[in-house]
Amino acid sequence: MLKGFGNFIMRGNVVDLAVAVVIGGAFGAIVTAFVKDLVTPLIAAFVGKPDFSALSFTINNSKFAIGDFINVLISFVLVAAAIYFFVVVPMGAVNERRKKPEEAAPAVETCPECLSEIPLDAHRCKFCTAVLVAS
């Protein structure tokens, strides 16, 4: 039973997933700091201080602090936008450049005598030397 568990843990996809979670957490901290330290102050420079934490309303002596929710929501949207524009879009461009162009299929036809593939421009089959009639 322990041997099977060891095999499960050492499978490539489990290890890859563990590495992805750790790297993702570290990357999330970088993106959060980027949004908090650079993007949010940039927005504040144009709009004013983007702090909604004081917004709230009360119903039957229950206080609903919607300002904190709005702050977290704005932070989430900014983090998602930063990830999209600074990671997803550039990686898509890199992957697009790395793609090898698909080669055009060679223009071939089948020889009526030996049934081998020959170029369309050929006048004689290279396998059986049959004379080809122009189509």
Domain boundaries along the sequence of the chain: 2-98, 105-135
Q: Where do the H-state alpha helices sit in the chain?
A: 2-10, 12-34, 40-47, 66-83, 89-98
Is the CB of residue 132 less than 8 Å from the CB of residue 123?
yes
Q: May I ask the CATH architecture of the domain 2-98?
A: Orthogonal Bundle (1.10)
List the beta bridge partners of residue 63.
Answer: 58
Q: φ, ψ for residue 130 (rounded to 5)?
A: -70, 140
Where is pLDDT greater, at 135 or 70?
A: 70
Alpha-carbon gap, residue 110 to 120, rounded angstroms:
9
Looking at residue 133, its pLDDT comes to 79
Looking at residue 98, its pLDDT comes to 85
Looking at residue 51, its pLDDT comes to 66
pLDDT classification of 66: cutoffs 50, 70, 90? confident
90-104: string of b/e by CB count within 10 Å (b at 16+)? eeeeeeeeeeeeeee
Checking if the pLDDT of 56 tops 70, the result is yes
| Residue at 88: amino acid letter | V
